[in-house]
Amino acid sequence: DDGSEDLTFQQSLLTAKESLDSVSDIKYDPASKNPYYEYTEDDGVNHTVWFLDASTAYNQLQAAKPYGIAGFALWRLGSEDPSLWSIFGSGGKTGSPDDLAKIKYGYDVDFEGTGEILQVVAQPQDGIRDIRAGNTGQIDHEVYQQMPSSYVIQRTGDKPGKIALTFDDGPDPVWTPQVLDVLKQKGVKATFFIVGENGQANPELVKRIVAEGNEIGNHSFTHPNLAEVPLRVTDLELNATERLIEALTGRSTRLFRAPYFGDAEPRTPDEIDPTVQAQNLGYISVGLHLDPDDWKLRNDDGSPHTAEQIVSEVVEQAKNTTQEERGNIVLLHDSGGNRQATVDALPMLIDQLRANGYEFTTVAGLADMTEDEAMPPIPQDQSFYTKTDAYVFYAISILGWIMKWLFLVGIILGLGRMAFIGALAFAQYARSRRREAERFGEGFEPLVSVVVPAFNEERVIVNTIMSLLASDYKNFEIVIVDDGSTDKTFKVVKEAFAREPKVTVFSKENGGKAEALNYGWRVAKGDVIIALDADTLFQPQTIGALAHRFADKTIGAVAGNAKVGNRINVVTKWQALEYVTSQNFDRRAFASLNCITVVPGSVGAWRRSVLEEAGGFSSDTLAEDQDLTIQVRKLGCHIGYEENAVGLTEAPDSLRNLAKQRFRWSYGTLQCMWKHKTALLNPRYGTLGFIAMPNVWIFQVFFPLVSPI
């Protein structure tokens, strides 16, 4: 050991700042191309400090270039001249020496004084140096003109023999009252750094803390890591908590402790920024040196963290008398988990510290502040605003309580619904298997009319008709209703199927889908009417599967199995999954209770006589298929589900189009529910009124409405 000492770049500049008369005393050695300085301590010991900076790194990079070095590594991160990053890690380009003229402030923080109450007394400032490169391309001239400086934090509150108890994260309805009981019994006052949302949920505890002579500090509203959030969020967190404290106690507070503040000394600029922000708002930041980690439920070896250990750790830490680490402030917690060990430790801790000669005080006492200075009373002229804030926080608290219970009820209902729907769907599946085994309805072959309303569908209409003509079922006709298309839909169908007797095409003025459907089924000849969207493709078995179900005279309509046909991207693939797991799953389940609410326009069939009795499709809503389905069910008809009747529909392939479709569906559903509101909880309509419609109101209207909140 030659007696030398390693320093970081910032430590070397800090030593120079404290030891040299002038920044010009930093010299540059042209032979080694290194900066250095010399100084003599008060005891006569001479020191020479050689240090590496961004200019030396620049020269090293330049010297290595001719050797084709693939890359460079930096040792040790945090010890370097921060200006180095303007030339380092730039893909082999070292930039210009002029880039190094500004000396950026370093990563360390300069602390002055002793204690755990912090005040930022100086902000960082960049330094300046004059740098020039010679003919070789390397820097051969460097003169430091202005030293950089980092944050300077003044520490105060060091009072040997005094101890202040502080409690973070409360108030908690279980643990805070027990803590207050112990403090009152022992005659000790403490400082509670409350979390705003906990104070809002437990306003009486906030009032009790102050009423019993304790102090309250600001610990943010939602307990975020303030070093990781924007400054405007820090402002909002502190202001919201401040207004809550004022509204509940009639006093403000000047005491602040940042969440996740592990000790009395923030070490990085990110950790200091919240302190600076709080200071700008009028707060003083309160740190700590006595921390028993009472929040830990278990030790590192897995054993329980006991009350005795908490007491022992505080007492042992309090014995530390070094200037940097001795402490007066104890950090404990009255919320955030099981705090039984803290509650059990508190009376023992108070007795032990008193026995060791310590006197209890508050943070205000350590800061030489009176009660009114630490927690100033609200002026009378602001009392109106304070009362208004109190009502606002009360309303928010009630709303939060309501939303919490809605959330819990929603989870319970959702899980219950899932189990209920699953059981019903399984029952329907079993019945469908029995029907297949019995070959139900295979001898029943009524004339089926497939009505296809079309508006500007020249691109897809031919494929749709071709899929229908490929059907295994033979006794059917196709009725195309051109609803005033502005493209060549009518002409395309006419030309493509002029010689196909099953296809008939009509043209009418545009009147909307419902009107086109009504026109179509009224000119059709079949006893079973299938309403088909022009962009949907039927599989060969679909028409027959739908028709055979009408062998049951009680059936008024049958919902088919709609699937997504254009699975071309993530949007459509997710919809394909939704169609299988949600829409068709629900229809299968509700078929067991005869309360299907939607026979989809993409694949569904209706008994003609029922259509006539129901009055056909209505234009009252945007969901004409749902409207008619509910009306048919109100007539007392059964509505079935046929999984073998598969229709491949075109789903929206972009989020924009999907949003438009879902808005139309949602609004149409709401219109239908309102139109048929008399069926809700009406015994006349059985499961429609007591299961299907409440299901829509709760799970398709109410919960989607409140879920964004």
Q: 379: which DSSP letter?
A: P
φ, ψ for residue 210, nearest 5 deg: -75, -40
Residues whose CB is less than 8 angstroms from the CB of residue 108 and which lie 6 or more positions away in sequence, other chains included: 8, 10, 11, 14, 150, 267
Catalytic positions are: 168, 333
Q: Residue 134 is which amino acid?
A: G
- Alpha carbons within 13 angstroms on the beta-carbon side of residue 36 total 11
Amino acid 658 reads: L
Distance CA 293, CA 306 (A): 11
Tokens coding 67 = 């050797």
Q: How many residues does the chain have?
A: 709
The Cα–Cα gap between 232 and 244 comes to 18
Exposed e or buried b per residue across 441-453, where buried means at least 16 C-beta atoms within 10 angstroms of its C-beta: beeeebebbbbbb
Q: In what order do the strands lie in the sheet with 638-649?
A: 503-508, 476-483, 448-454, 528-531, 604-607, 555-564, 638-649, 537-538
If we measure between CA atoms, which residue out of 275, 245, 281, 282 comes closest to residue 260? Answer: 275
Short-list 70, 32, 66, 36, CA closest to 50: 36
Among the residues of 439-532, which ranges form H helices?
461-469, 489-496, 513-523
**Distance (Å) of CA 650 to CA 6, 456, 653, 657:** 71, 15, 9, 12
Per the listing, tokens 């219950």 go with: 416
CA angle, residues 4, 7, 11, in degrees to nearest 5? 135
E strand or H helix that includes residue 232: helix 231-249
259: left (phi over 0), alpha (psi -120 to 50) or beta: beta
The 3-class secondary structure across 665-684, one letter per residue, is HHHHHHHHHHHCHHHCCCHH
Q: State both tokens at 405.
A: 């219970």
Q: How far apart are the first and last CA of the chain?
A: 66
Please, what is the Cα angle at 320 between 317 and 323, to 5 degrees?
A: 130
Q: How far apart are CA 441 and CA 131, in angstroms?
A: 95
Residue 628 near residue 618, CB atoms below 8 Å? yes
Helix and strand numbers (H, E) in the chain are 24, 24
Cβ atoms of 525 and 592 closer than 8 Å: no
Q: In the numeric block, which tokens belong to residue 284?
A: 């003083």
Exposed (0-12), middle (13-18) or buried (19+): which is 34, by Cβ within 10 Å?
Answer: middle
